[in-house]
Amino acid sequence: MSSLAEAPIHDPGFDSEEAHKRKQYMVDLFVVQAKNYDFHDDVFGLYAHRFRMRTVLKIMGRFLKDRKHVDMLDLACGTGFVTFNTARNFDNVDIEAFDISPDMLAVAKERYEKYFKGRNIKFWRGDAEVPFGEEKYDLVTTSFAYRNFANKGIATENVFNALKPGGLFIIQDLTKPERHPMRGLYIFYMKYILPVLTGILGTEKSAARWLYKSAMMMPTNGQIVKLMESKGFEKCQYKSLSLGIACVIWGFKPEKSE
Ligand SMILES: C[S@@+](CC[C@H](N)C(=O)[O-])C[C@H]1O[C@@H](n2cnc3c(N)ncnc32)[C@H](O)[C@@H]1O
């Protein structure tokens, strides 16, 4: 069944003008946003992302349960929301985390120095569309960022290559509800309420527009599962959260066959 919200996944290509523009916009947007990012996220998201994180931690927990040690990558880590939540909840995880925005990374590093020194967490600047290793990680997460990648196919393939056999990839993001009336209410909130809130809080003006546009352009959960499978992932599943405005999608790199 083709759903209300379905739109073809469009990968413009690594060197396309669209991809370059998108990345530059990310860097520019978060210059202004970085310092207040977490506070604004709480206000706009009505704290919901903190509840949604519990779903991600549950999926991680099942995966980590029988493992002594896990190497994790938090892809597009921003200010480290998932990085630090993971560190707080699991002590058998060493974490690498990267982001394209130097300003978001600066906040993450500051937080690390203040609260997490002693944990094995490394931050660096990087692009999800540039390969970041071969069979290095047991677990890769990307949270509220997949929507922003211009070339989702390239980023997904990079994750597949960077995972060890048997490794787990978890995507958490905003999306758009696929059915009315929630879809109508959501569009109303994003189009008319959010710009007012961002105005009051002094958020970068284009942020509300981008949030709306990127959520609308987000492929459906089913389409993302198909994309993951086309890159080699197996046992892919998804869960709609917060009445369909967010999703968690996950899948595994197959174990090596003998
Ligand atoms: C909405 S923030 C989410 C940050 C964090 N993961 C969280 O859950 O709070 C999106 C992040 O994706 C990053 N990003 C966007 N495109 C990227 C890319 N191509 N490579 C790496 N990071 C990217 C942005 O710089 C930004 O920090």
Asked whether residue 30 is assigned to any structural domain, the reply reads no
Confidence (pLDDT) at 1: 41
Q: Is 118 exposed, middle or buried (0-12, 13-18, 19+ CB in 10 A)?
A: exposed
Q: pLDDT tens digits, residue range 176-190?
A: 888 888 888 888 888
Q: Is residue 195 part of a domain?
A: no
Residue 106, domain CATH: 3.40.50.150
Domain hosting 44: range is 36-175+218-252
Asked if residue 207 has pLDDT above 50, the reply is yes
Can you tell me the distance from the alpha carbon of 184 to that of 18, in angstroms, rounded to the nearest whole number? 29
Contact 237, 170 (CB under 8 A): no
Q: Is residue 29 situated within a structural domain?
A: no
- Euclidean distance between CA atoms 89 and 255, whole angstroms: 26
Q: What is the pLDDT of residue 191?
A: 86
Under the banding of pLDDT at 50, 70 and 90, the label for residue 48 is low
Query: Whole-angstrom Cα distance, residue 233 to residue 38?
Result: 32
The pLDDT of residue 194: 82
Q: What is the pTM of this model?
A: 0.94
Residue carrying structure tokens 């994003």: 190
Which of 148, 154, 214 maximizes ligand 1 atoms within 8 Å of its Cβ, making it the mutation to test the pocket? 148
- Domain annotation covers residue 26: no
Within-domain flag for 213: no
What does the pLDDT average to over 105-132? Answer: 97
Residue 104 CA: which ligand 1 atom is closest? 27
Would 206 be classed as within a structural domain?
no
The residue whose CB lies within 8 Å of the most ligand 1 atoms, and thus the one to mutate among 32, 83, 100, 130, is: 100
pLDDT at 116: 96
Among the listed residues 212, 251, 248, 246, the one whose alpha carbon sits nearest the alpha carbon of residue 229: 251
Is 57 domain-assigned? yes
Q: pLDDT per residue over 49-60, tens digit each? A: 767 889 999 999
- What's residue 12's pLDDT? 96
In a domain, 209, yes or no: no
Confidence of residue 222 (pLDDT cuts 50, 70, 90): very high
Exposure letters 202-232 (e unless 16+ CB within 10 A, then b): ebbeebbebbbebbeebbbbebbbebbeebe
Domains identified in the chain, total number: 1
What DSSP state is assigned to residue 116?
Answer: I
